[in-house]
Amino acid sequence: MLRSTWTLVTTVLLIVAGTAAALGTTAVSHAGSVVAFSDQTDRGRTVYANACAKCHGQQGQGDQGPRLIGTVTGLPEYKTAQGLFDYVSSQMPNDTPGSLKAEEYWDVLAYILDANKLLPADTTLGPDNAAKITLKP
């Protein structure tokens, strides 16, 4: 009985990991739950560290620039992810506005929205869906 339970648990974990891999996500276990992080948010984390953190802080907590991640941010004033993209892609980074590729802007916004629990699950952020994603907490 114990052996068959172990086999079942192992099989389920392999299926979850395989599904995550097929969807372009990485499964990470936290206290027994499985959390999926898309390739886009992983890329966005890297873009954030390289282009945004110097003004907005390593954790998005704000520094020279405003807070981007946490309980109080100015994100809702942009109404949708598209509104935020329009601003960020033309005005950021502050020292070299518009210098990133469009994909890098989408990636970093996906990271920021995901960190604020504003990105719907299993969503790859882009021009096809950004206008439908509202920035209300």
Q: Tell me the torsion sign for CA atoms 59, 64, 68, 73.
A: positive
Cβ–Cβ under 8 Å, residues 40 and 125: yes
Ranges of the chain whose pLDDT falls below 70: 1-37
Tokens of residue 29, six digits? 């276990």
The whole-number pLDDT of residue 15 equals 41
Q: Quote the pTM value.
A: 0.73
What are residue 25's DSSP bridge partners? 38
Q: Write down the CATH number for the domain with range 39-132.
A: 1.10.760.10
- In the chain, what are the domain boundaries? 39-132
The whole-number pLDDT of residue 72 equals 82
Burial 95-118 (b: 16+ CB within 10 A, else e): eeeeebeeebbbbbbbbbbbbbeb
The whole-number pLDDT of residue 71 equals 85
